[in-house]
Chain A
């Protein structure tokens, strides 16, 4: 027989081993070498805290009493895991995006970051978990008692067991504080704890499998032997209780998600969604293995052990009965592992909830004046958590002592399941139904909690403990329909089924009804949209309006929660993203949102919201601001379209500027060339005039014929000079507007006749040659009568015809003159058959001083077209170059009118 001391020693060694494992894992994680620490395997194994000592020892006892029903406790979780794609994946994604720290945090965050809900869920969790922790302590002490049947050294037996429970509780508190509150992890992940739990998971699985294999092959003689033993055992008949079968499956499924410790390992400690895919089949497999040998062990225990043996301890007593002390020791460690891992995670999860939803809000409101005050919040949070852990464990221990290790504890497992399942309607509503409101969730929770307490929790303490026998039998104040185990007069149902039916049913009903009737606040609606549509858009609407927030205050607060280095890095990164240097980003809604999430990873959503609210002056989002956000979006869109239009306009202006610049450059070159041209033009006649006049002055011996010839040359040159100067004067007059028009009614054809005649004469006289320019006209078309200045119009025509004479480079030059009249306009086209004017020159031909290169004429100073343009402007028309006509083509457009227009007269008068 193993002695109590050997067992205690083994226990101690095992605990030291666990501490080492957790320590090494923590060190590895610190150095960033996570490796296996973050594998799907460790994640799956960490889920095994679902299998507590209650299921490790209790499942066999359960099977020995009521056959296969024990398996429902595993069937529910199996269904949840197998359906990971629908529920768990969404939960994990939401928790990651919203930096959820616990189940209470999730509920509170979803329903408008309500602290009321956080407190409610936390209380429910504490009330549901404390007896559960007591149950673990009891199972450990019970297993010790197996090895200490007789008191050594004459010590009081129950005293020794109680001190064992105390030691276990203290050791667990130390472990949990050491590895569960090492730091305020932003992601709330504890690598040391998770790794230790994974190791414990392996230990308990191996222990149970070992006992099972021993029982099946060592005692019963193989599977067929076991089958026969089951057939002949007291539990051979399957005593199916319909209601319990369905209810327990449902409860275990609900509890698997809602239990604080399960939510913690399943959702909060999850570091990769991909791990869920593995756990989806691996954890059901684990549970399958855990329950495979339960019935055989129970059957063998019932058959072999004396009748008064406790079926709850068959896992230990069966190996001991066959003198397998090593196996018994392994089995004991398995049970110990089950108990400790559950207690560790449960107390971490509870302490997080208590500190985030109860301690921090009180602490915050106790120091009005704000979160910016000095003092490290981190140490406050950590201290709160440590005290919570000790408190939770102490509560568990006190509960255990108060119950005196009675059998009432055995039922506690299911009672706790039913209690925590009250969160389920609010949880499902949180992630699938946007219509769920805070009021609905809170009232549903309260109703469910009350019914659960009245029908299951309080009677569970035993008749006469809290609820007296008369109340139980006749209802409070004689109200029969309020009897705890027969609400509304419906009796004869199993208490657990009865309580679950009423509490969950009314809970759901109230939640839905109040939600449907109520109206959610803006923050609730924002969060609701975020949660329900988590896969559609992860970055949602903003929750904060940046009104007079000092980034410095924010930094001060964040440093105290996240730590100086982390907070500064966060702020610096945010500033860099905004394109700023230093540590102080602009408090944009995006930044505030992000900051709040980071903070809520440490202190919970409601607390983070409250702290940020203190700094921003309590300005959370309102409906008006929500609408502003929508307006802002519209404004931004409008603004961007305006910008687009503006940039287009800018592009146009730039193009125009570029064109103007090109023109100016060309003009400047023209001017330079004109100046040299005009000097040349003026100088050439002057030179010849001077030379010939000198000859005439000095040459007395010249004959009269030569003298006459020289005089003619001088005269000719003087005429050229005069003409040039006339042209310049003319242009100056036209440009300055000091011109008098002598308007009258004329036939256009007559004006053209005059021009043709003049050019013919002019050409013959000035150049001395006839260029041979043929002019094509259609006299029938030229009978337009207009009211204009015939002299000036003729001047334009003359210029155009002489230009054709001078510049048309065709072998047989032809000028076509085409008239077209519309209702209010008359156009006269002059089109020759030369090579025309190149595209580059087209914009500048009407400028002054222009003479195109490569022209064969030497006459003229390039003022002709400029004068034409000025004249046409004076006449109310215009002259344009028409490209693409097979040569140089000018169009003279005139207003077609038969009398003076009043406005024009005014202009003329002024001029």
Chain B
């Protein structure tokens, strides 16, 4: 979101302040960005899978039983946990941990 919509009368910030997205990315950071995209989309996928049982049941019609449904849900759950584990590993690998500057003094 551009900074200048803060107030019509405030002059736009100097360009150095705005993040200019690089047009060309080296392969690794490109991968990392796509991984972040995937991490944002993962909950949507999860929601779709978790909510899809709703579609299995017609109005008051019979669907799969509790046991089979449970197995489906726990399978999706496992897949999500594994997916999140892989992605968060990839996302944090290249990133130095962001620590609170206030805390650093207490570490010593």
Q: Report the Cα distance A161→B2, complex, angstroms.
A: 61
Tally of contact residues, B, Cβ under 8 A:
57
Contact among B7, B14, B107 with A32 in the assembled complex (CB-CB below 8 Å) = B107
Q: A249-B51, A281-B88 are in contact. Are A626 and B10 (CB under 8 A)?
A: yes
Tally of contact residues, A, Cβ under 8 A:
60
The answer on a CB contact under 8 Å between B54 and A246 is: yes
The answer on a CB contact under 8 Å between B78 and A186 is: no
B-side contacts of A68, CB under 8 Å: 66, 69-70, 73
Interface of B is mostly: helix
Interface string of B46-76 (1 = CB under 8 A from A): 1100110110110000111111011001100
**A274 lies within 8 A of chain B by Cβ:** yes
**A403 lies within 8 A of chain B by Cβ:** no
B-side contacts of A96, CB under 8 Å: 100
The answer on a CB contact under 8 Å between B88 and A277 is: yes
Q: A83-B40, A245-B53, A634-B11 are in contact. Are A273 and B97 (CB under 8 A)?
A: yes
The answer on a CB contact under 8 Å between B47 and A284 is: no
Q: Report the Cα distance A491→B54, complex, angstroms.
A: 21
Q: A240-B63, A249-B47, A630-B11 are in contact. Are A288 and B77 (CB under 8 A)?
A: yes
- CB within 8 Å: A-B pair count: 155
Looking at the assembled complex, report how far the CB atom of A622 sits from the nearest CB atom of chain B, in whole angstroms.
Answer: 12
The answer on a CB contact under 8 Å between A284 and B84 is: yes
The answer on a CB contact under 8 Å between A78 and B80 is: yes
**A767 lies within 8 A of chain B by Cβ:** no
**A86 lies within 8 A of chain B by Cβ:** yes
Contact among B70, B84, B107 with A34 in the assembled complex (CB-CB below 8 Å) = B107
Nearest residue (CB) in A for B59 is A242
Q: Report the Cα distance A266→B37, complex, angstroms.
A: 23
Contact among B7, B78, B97 with A623 in the assembled complex (CB-CB below 8 Å) = B7
Nearest residue (CB) in A for B19 is A536
Interface string of A224-264 (1 = CB under 8 A from B): 00010011010111101010011001000000000000000
**A633 lies within 8 A of chain B by Cβ:** yes
Q: Report the Cα distance A529→B47, complex, angstroms.
A: 30
Contact among A83, A271, A525, A637 with B6 in the assembled complex (CB-CB below 8 Å) = A525
The answer on a CB contact under 8 Å between B43 and A80 is: yes
Looking at the assembled complex, report how far the CB atom of B104 sits from the nearest CB atom of chain A, in whole angstroms.
Answer: 11
**A82 lies within 8 A of chain B by Cβ:** yes
B-side contacts of A274, CB under 8 Å: 92, 97-98
Q: Report the Cα distance A277→B88, complex, angstroms.
A: 5
The answer on a CB contact under 8 Å between B10 and A630 is: yes
The answer on a CB contact under 8 Å between A238 and B65 is: yes
Looking at the assembled complex, report how far the CB atom of B107 sits from the nearest CB atom of chain A, in whole angstroms.
Answer: 7
Q: Report the Cα distance A187→B99, complex, angstroms.
A: 13
B-side contacts of A532, CB under 8 Å: 1
Q: Report the Cα distance A295→B7, complex, angstroms.
A: 57
**A285 lies within 8 A of chain B by Cβ:** yes
Contact among A82, A233, A273, A634 with B83 in the assembled complex (CB-CB below 8 Å) = A82
The answer on a CB contact under 8 Å between B85 and A281 is: yes
A-side contacts of B56, CB under 8 Å: 240
A-side contacts of B103, CB under 8 Å: 187, 271
B residues near A (Cβ < 8 Å) are 1, 3, 5-7, 9-11, 14, 17, 19, 36, 39-40, 42-44, 46-47, 50-51, 53-54, 56-57, 62-67, 69-70, 73-74, 77-78, 80-85, 87-89, 91-92, 97-100, 102-103, 106-108
- 13 CB contacts below 8 A, A to B, read A68-B73, A78-B46, A82-B46, A83-B39, A96-B100, A230-B67, A231-B65, A235-B66, A240-B54, A246-B51, A271-B103, A288-B77, A623-B7
Since A237-B62, A284-B84 are in contact, a sample of 5 more A-B pairs with Cβ atoms closer than 8 Å, ordered by chain A residue number, is A34-B106, A83-B46, A271-B103, A277-B88, A627-B10
